Every structure is written in C-alpha cells, then in structure tokens.
A and B are shown apart, each in its own frame.
Chain A
Amino acid sequence: MNFSLTEEQQILQDSAARLVGQSYPFERRQRDVSSATGFDPELWKQFADMGWLAIPFREENGGFGGEATELMLLMEEMGKGLVAVPYLATVLLFGKLVEAGTEGPLRDDLLTRLIAGQLQGSVAYMERQARYTLNDTCTRASQTPTGFRLSGEKTMAFNGPAADKLIVSARTEGGQQDEWGISLFLVDATAPGLELTSYRLMDGQRAAKVLLNDVQVKSGQLVGQENKGAALLQGVINNALPGLCAEALGLMTHLTNTTIEYTKVRKQFAVPISSFQALQHRMVDMFTACEETRSLVYRSVCSADKPDSQEHLRNLHALKVITGRRGKRVGNDAIQLHGGMGITDELDVGHYVKHLMVLNSLFGDADYHQQQLATLSLSV
C-alpha cells in the first residue's frame, strides 16, 4: 500500500501548481473566459509545451503514457486555479476517442497536431431528450454508396465553437434507447450541412448546439466499430471521471481554503467571524468533504488499471455521488459564509461554484450515479 508520488509525479504536480499559482491570477482567467472561444490560445500552447496535452496518450502515439495518477495531479491543480482550457473536451474526450477508434496515418496526424496544441476537438453526443443517458440517440446515420449521411441535432457539444473537428454519435441501427447501433463519426467543423450555434455556460466555457443536415461522411470517418460507439464512448468517459472529479476536488479545496481565510479577517460584533462555533463546524464539514472526495479519487485511480471490473465501476459511481453531494455543500457553504460578498461576481467564489456545478452535472449527477450504483450493488 502506497499513496505517495514518484519523483516524476511530484515534478508534474509542482510545475502545474506553479503555473496555476504564479502565472494564472483570477483576473487573467476572467479575461480568458470572456473571449470568443472561452480560453486563451497562448495558455493552451503552454499546456502543449509543458507536455500536458500528451499525458493520457500511449507512448507509441507520441504520448506520455500517463496513468490516472498523472491526470489526477494535473487536473486537481487546474481546479485549484480555476484554469479555463478545453482539456476535457479536446484531450480526454475527443483525443482519447481518436486514439481508441482510429488508426494509421489519420490517427498519427490528428494526435500529433492535438498534442502539439494545434487541433481543437469536441464530442457531440448529447441530445435534448437524453438527459444523462448516453444511449438515447435519435440522430441518424444512413448508409450511402460511399459512407453515411448524418441528420439530427446535438444540444451541447463542449468546446464546439473552437473545435476544428468533431466526433458525432449517430444511430446506424437499433431503437432509440439501444446501446447497440450507435456509431461515432469524425466530422470537420466546416463540413457542409453542419451548423453550429455557439453559447456560453455559466462557468464561462463555450458549448455549441450542433445541427446536422444531411452531413456526408466517408466510411473512413467512422471512429471505432460500426454500431459499437456507445460502449467506446462510455469507456472514454469512464476514463475521464477520476480526472474530472480531481478537478472538482481542486475547486472544493480552493473554496474551503478561501472561506477559512475570509472568516479569519472578516469582523462582525468586534470579533473575526471565524470565532463563531456555528461557522467553525461548517468549515470542518467543508474540510471533511474534501478529504472524503480525495479518498474516493484515490480509490478510483487505484482501480483504473482494471477499467471494466465491477469494482472499478462501483468506485466511479461512488466517486460521482460523493463529489456531487459534497461539492454542492462546499459550494453553498462557501457562498453562505462570505455573506453578501459571496453573491458578487467580483469575488472568485461564485465562479468556482459555477464550474463545480458544471463538472458535477457532466456525465450524470449524484442522483444519477446513485441509481447506477444501486443497480450494481442491489441487483436481486
């Protein structure tokens, strides 16, 4: 049993912490998210230069061969600094789908550019009626002599507005709720018939609604095997969850620390409000919430080498349940203990809370995962 880091991992953590702590003040972040794409290309380049875009890819694909631990370290620091970059959309979803579902020169070309910071991606899977179920897919892919024709609507493609390429899920077979019959397609952002409506999310990142009006794709644009796209996508999402929750943990940690600091300097009734026991207990709860979440992040990182095991799946569901529930408490308490200041846009607290809320509703919220956990644990 060993929860300590290797020297290399320590270096990664330190350099991520340095970037966040020293060259990424909140004002810069606010400027970045108000730009058209919601992030600063310079910062993305910096991520590439640091080798961070390569972390999750296999060495033979030009990657770092990093495991869940490296991702966790990087993303927790990103959370602490509320770093606005499309890491999840481009690297963890788009990039990992490319790695798993394409081959040869296409894969080499895409991953090389992606790792160099020269390619932005987005995965368009979510549909209006689906809520958190991946399988619920109406978008159709009909056979044509040379490939497929895609028609339908995806409501929320993260990083869609900046993406050079998208991976779109569509039904090649099966009924609306079936896992079987969903296929994934690589589509150019400029493909005829593809129409993007860009909008902002509350944490400043950009998403797009994607309309597909008879978009023509060749068979070579199929990502993974025909009809087996849902399982591939689910696997990639599962892979991203520990990192995603580590980022949430970083946000929670920052919220807890800022709140503790604020209550020490804010005086009411001639004393620091940190002297009130009612508030002390709340902050102890916040701290405990972070520790609980960290424990489950570690737990799922430890089982990540057996991605298809029941044990790992249970760990992931538990992680999303606890991160969702505790994250919500930490966010609410952080605002509450700041009083009126917590309601302002000027303070970073509200912005951390909003990003935390987005992360916690990505790929299913706590209630959703609790039901999934019940299915695994209480099947009769």
Chain B
Amino acid sequence: MDITFSSDDLKFRDEVRLFFANAAPEASQQLINNPGTYKQGVIQWQKKLFAQGWVAPFWPREHGGAGWSATQSYIYECERVIAQAPDVVPFGLKMVGPVIYTYGNSEQKARFLPGILNGSDWWCQGYSEPGAGSDLAALKTRADRDGDDYVVNGSKIWTTYAQYADWIFCLVRTDNSGKPQQGITFLLIDMKTPGITVSPIPSINGVDSLNEVHFENVRVPRSNRIGEEGQGWTYAKSLLAHERTAIARVADSKSRLDRLRKFASCELQGGRPMIQDEEFRARFTTIEAELMALEYMELRVLAAMASNRSPGAESSLLKIRGTEIQQALHELTIELAGLYGCMIADNDTSSADIGHSFGDQARKDFMYGRAATIFGGSNEIQKNIIAKRVLGL
C-alpha cells in the first residue's frame, strides 16, 4: 500500500504543470464566473483541453480518452486545483458520453462523440419530472412509435442549462405494462426540434441555471435511441454511479479550503485576523480532516475503477460526504464574511462599491450549494442505497 509517484508520474506532473502555466485557465474561469459569459468560458476552456487531448481522460483511448491511470487522474486534479483551472461541465463528457460509447451503435458514436469532445455540442440531462424526482422510475414523459419516429410528449424539470443546450438526453416511457423500471427508453433529442419549449425556473441564488423543458408532439428519429427500447433504465443507472463520483468534487473542495484560509488571514475581528480565531480554527480543521478522509475514499474508488470494477455503492458514500463537506465549506465561508455574506452585488452596486471581495460570491455558492445534497440522487436516497446494498438491511 503506497501512493508514491513513479518517475513517470513525476514527469507527467511536470507536463500537467506546464500545460496549466501556458493555457491561461484564469481567463476562462473569469468568463465562467460571470453568468453572462458562462457558456463562452466553459467552451473556451474545453477547446483548450481538447486540443491537448485531455478533455476526457477517463474515456477509453479508442474514443478519444487519454488512457490515464488512477494516479495520473489524481495528479491532474491536484494540479488543476493549484492552477485554479475550471472543471469540465459534466453533461456531455461525464454523463451522456460514456452511455453513448458503451451502449450506442457505431453510427451514433461517430455522430455524437466528436461534438461532445470538442465542445461544439452542449448537452443537458432530461431525467427528472415534476412527479418523478427521487422516484425517477415514475417518469411519465411518453414516446410513442410512429413510423420511423418516436413522438414525445411530456415535461422535464430542473434541467440544468437547458437554455444553452443543443441536445438533451432523456429518459422516456415507451411502455406502461410492466414494472415502472421496464418500459423506459433512452433518447437523444435535438433541442431545435419543433415542439420543444424551455422555460426558466428562477433559483434562490439569483443565477438562472434551472429550466422546465416541455415536449409537445416532438418527433425524434428512431436512430436517436440508445440501445434497446425499454432498456433505458439500465443504461442510465450505470451512468448515475459516474455522476455521483463526479459530484464528490474533492479537488474543488481542496481549492475552496485554500481560498478560505486566505480569506481568513485578511478578515479581521477586533484587530486580529480570523485565522487566529479559536472557533474558526476548530471548524476549519474539522473540515480539513474530513476532506483528507474523503480524498482517500475517492482514491480507493478510483483505484477500483481503474482495475475495471465499476463504482458501486461506494460512489454513494463519496456523494454523501463530498456534498456535506462542500456545504460545510460554503457555510464557513459565508459566515466568515459576516454580514457581508448577506449583501448582493448587482448591476447597480459591485462588490468593490460595497467594499467586500468575497461576500457576494459566498452567498451565491452557499445558496446554490444547498442543491448538492438534493441532486444526483438526494443524500437520503444515497443512504437508503447504502443501507440496502452495502449493509444488507
């Protein structure tokens, strides 16, 4: 048992460092931070990664992956955090991509994978419905066969960044006769198809990312179906484990912890920096220790995945602890900002006008961060899964 880096690993690390030093990640990150230029920033960064061949390191090499070892992925993430470089948006690269290369036919692979990799297609995830959240299998959006097409009717909800999307991958109902999990089909739908409307759902952090997507007699060619009709649930489930692993965001939390340390050395109370405040130190180091445990928990899962065992119920653990730690970090950051964590910088008044650098962002992060324990399968649902599958209860 050891994680010392081999000389090849160290060479790889230098290569990663060099890349980040030259790729100007901070410019893209700045665009990403501003809702008006968010999409532009994401795509700009993705194109740089694509050019480097690192946009989907976890994909199999034959589909454009980098074929990295678990150690290399770990090194990359560590360096990414140090460089404060953006993470990729998961919908194409981490969610639908793996489903397409695993279950899609060769025509679909040729058609969709390049756009996912080079960032020319923006994907969104159409699973949840008003009546089907935790109980996803209760979904009702219908797809009826009509000649060579499916005709889709229904509504998806909470669809993140649907307003930017070129494509949506959907779970739809093609059969009502058996168990709810049967009769679900996985469809790829062009967002420009007539009959699709997207309506925004304003959210509590004031940033528009959520939407409702309505389908009214939307014709989808049968060739856009992944795998077999009625097998969508199986395909989707295999991908959920990946999604949950990604939601742990260990690297991101490490970088937040770093920033928090810096904020705390500048934020004063009674003339003393908050980094010397006992209560703050206790909370900070609690999170630090928990994050150290999580990091190794993740490495263990990555190692298992590298030896071709798919992440099973362990990914639920990662999701639970990862999101709890994210929320603890959000909480400590906004509380460090004190009353400035309550302020809103907008078109009329900037953070600089008010005189506080991180309060406004801390508030947005805190508010949106409440969703981390809800999406990707809520933490309560993850606990149910662990109780059943791991503990056999």
Mark A residues whose CB is within 8 Å of B.
126, 128-133, 135-136, 153, 155-156, 176-177, 197-203, 207, 209, 267-270, 273, 276, 278-279, 328, 332, 335-336, 339-340, 342-346, 350, 353-354, 357-358, 361-362, 365, 367-368, 370-371
Contact A332 B374 (CB under 8 A): no
Contact A345 B204 (CB under 8 A): yes
Q: Which residue of A lies closest to B133 (CB)?
A: A339
Task: Other than A353-B204, A361-B338, give 17 A-B pairs with Cβ distance below 8 A.
Answer: A126-B339, A130-B268, A132-B338, A197-B354, A198-B348, A199-B353, A207-B343, A267-B131, A268-B134, A268-B138, A340-B210, A344-B203, A346-B202, A357-B334, A358-B342, A361-B342, A367-B277
Q: Which residues of B contact A270 (CB under 8 A)?
A: 135, 138
Contact B380 A203 (CB under 8 A): no
Q: How far is the CA of A153 from the CA of B355 in the complex (A)?
A: 10
Contact A339 B355 (CB under 8 A): no
Q: Which residues of B contact A200 (CB under 8 A)?
A: 343-344, 346
Q: Which residues of B contact A133 (CB under 8 A)?
A: 269-270
Contact A128 B355 (CB under 8 A): yes
B94: Cβ under 8 A from any A Cβ: no
Q: How far is the CA of A343 from the CA of B364 in the complex (A)?
A: 12
Partner of A365, one of B335, B346, B349, B373: B335
Q: How far is the CA of A199 from the CA of B339 in the complex (A)?
A: 13
B157: Cβ under 8 A from any A Cβ: yes
Contact A199 B202 (CB under 8 A): no
Contact A131 B138 (CB under 8 A): no
Contact B339 A361 (CB under 8 A): yes
Contact A131 B338 (CB under 8 A): yes
Q: Which residues of B contact A358 (CB under 8 A)?
A: 339, 342
Partner of A129, one of B268, B341, B353, B378: B268
Can you list 25 pairs linking A and B with CB atoms under 8 Å apart? A130-B268, A131-B268, A131-B270, A136-B269, A136-B270, A177-B270, A199-B344, A199-B353, A200-B344, A267-B131, A278-B380, A279-B380, A335-B374, A336-B373, A339-B378, A340-B128, A340-B158, A343-B203, A343-B368, A357-B342, A358-B339, A361-B342, A368-B269, A371-B278, A371-B279
Q: How far is the CA of A156 from the CA of B135 in the complex (A)?
A: 45
Which of A177, A268, A370: most chain B Cβ within 10 A? A268
B49: Cβ under 8 A from any A Cβ: no
Partner of A362, one of B210, B267, B339: B339
Q: Which residues of A contact B123 (CB under 8 A)?
A: none
Q: How far is the CA of A129 from the CA of B353 in the complex (A)?
A: 15
Contact A156 B134 (CB under 8 A): no
Contact A332 B370 (CB under 8 A): yes
- For residue B207, give the distance in angstroms from its CB to the closest CB of chain A: 10
Q: How far is the CA of A64 from the CA of B157 in the complex (A)?
A: 52
B13: Cβ under 8 A from any A Cβ: no
Q: Which residues of A contact B346 (CB under 8 A)?
A: 199-200
B178: Cβ under 8 A from any A Cβ: no
Contact A201 B343 (CB under 8 A): yes
Mark B residues whose CB is within 8 Å of A.
128, 131, 133-135, 138, 157-158, 201-204, 206, 210, 267-271, 274, 277-280, 283, 327, 331, 334-335, 338-346, 348-349, 353-356, 363, 367-368, 370-371, 373-375, 378-380, 383-384
Q: How far is the CA of A209 from the CA of B356 in the complex (A)?
A: 11
Contact A343 B204 (CB under 8 A): yes
Contact A136 B133 (CB under 8 A): no
Q: Which residues of A contact B138 (CB under 8 A)?
A: 268-270
Q: How far is the CA of A133 from the CA of B339 in the complex (A)?
A: 12
Q: Which residues of A contact B203 (CB under 8 A)?
A: 343-345
Q: Given the known A-B contacts A129-B268, A269-B134, A340-B133, are A156 and B339 also in contact in the complex, defined by CB atoms under 8 Å? A: yes
- For residue A229, give the distance in angstroms from its CB to the closest CB of chain B: 18
Partner of A132, one of B269, B343, B370, B373: B269
Q: How far is the CA of A75 from the CA of B262 in the complex (A)?
A: 38
- For residue A247, give the distance in angstroms from its CB to the closest CB of chain B: 15
Q: How far is the CA of A313 from the CA of B344 in the complex (A)?
A: 33
Which of B268, B280, B375: most chain A Cβ within 10 A? B268
Q: Which residues of B contact A156 (CB under 8 A)?
A: 339-340, 343, 354
Q: How far is the CA of A339 from the CA of B131 in the complex (A)?
A: 12
Partner of A209, one of B135, B202, B335, B353: B353
Q: Which residue of B lies closest to A337 (CB)?
A: B380
Q: How far is the CA of A128 from the CA of B351 in the complex (A)?
A: 12
- For residue A189, give the distance in angstroms from its CB to the closest CB of chain B: 18
Contact B339 A367 (CB under 8 A): no
Partner of A131, one of B133, B274, B343, B379: B274
Q: Which residues of B contact A128 (CB under 8 A)?
A: 355-356
Contact A335 B270 (CB under 8 A): no
Q: How far is the CA of A176 from the CA of B283 in the complex (A)?
A: 28
Q: How far is the CA of A288 from the CA of B334 in the complex (A)?
A: 26
Q: Which residue of B lies closest to A156 (CB)?
A: B339
Q: How far is the CA of A197 from the CA of B344 in the complex (A)?
A: 13
- For residue A109, give the distance in angstroms from its CB to the closest CB of chain B: 31
Contact A136 B134 (CB under 8 A): no
- For residue A329, give the distance in angstroms from its CB to the closest CB of chain B: 11
Q: Given the known A-B contacts A344-B203, A345-B204, are A339 and B343 also in contact in the complex, defined by CB atoms under 8 Å? A: no
Contact A328 B331 (CB under 8 A): yes
Q: How far is the CA of A333 from the CA of B59 in the complex (A)?
A: 37
Q: How far is the CA of A332 from the CA of B348 in the complex (A)?
A: 30
Q: Which residues of B contact A198 (CB under 8 A)?
A: 348-349
Q: How far is the CA of A144 from the CA of B206 in the complex (A)?
A: 47
Q: Given the known A-B contacts A132-B269, A370-B279, are A199 and B354 also in contact in the complex, defined by CB atoms under 8 Å? A: yes
Q: How far is the CA of A370 from the CA of B277 in the complex (A)?
A: 12
Contact A344 B280 (CB under 8 A): no
Q: How far is the CA of A371 from the CA of B272 in the complex (A)?
A: 15
Which of A197, A328, A343, A344: most chain B Cβ within 10 A? A343
Contact A202 B344 (CB under 8 A): yes
Contact A335 B370 (CB under 8 A): yes
Q: Which residues of B contact A129 (CB under 8 A)?
A: 268, 271
Q: Which residues of B contact A362 (CB under 8 A)?
A: 339
Q: Which residue of A lies closest to B280 (CB)?
A: A367
Q: How far is the CA of A278 from the CA of B356 in the complex (A)?
A: 40
Q: How far is the CA of A202 from the CA of B339 in the complex (A)?
A: 10
- For residue B277, give the distance in angstroms from its CB to the closest CB of chain A: 8
Partner of B335, one of A176, A201, A269, A361: A361
Contact A202 B354 (CB under 8 A): no
Contact A340 B339 (CB under 8 A): no
Q: Which residues of B contact A328 (CB under 8 A)?
A: 331
- For residue A20, give the distance in angstroms from its CB to the closest CB of chain B: 22
Q: Which residue of B lies closest to A133 (CB)?
A: B270
Contact A367 B204 (CB under 8 A): no
Q: How far is the CA of A328 from the CA of B340 in the complex (A)?
A: 17
Q: Which residue of A lies closest to B205 (CB)?
A: A343
Q: Given the known A-B contacts A268-B133, A358-B342, are A276 and B335 also in contact in the complex, defined by CB atoms under 8 Å? A: no
Q: Given the known A-B contacts A201-B343, A202-B344, A328-B331, are A339 and B374 also in contact in the complex, defined by CB atoms under 8 Å? A: yes
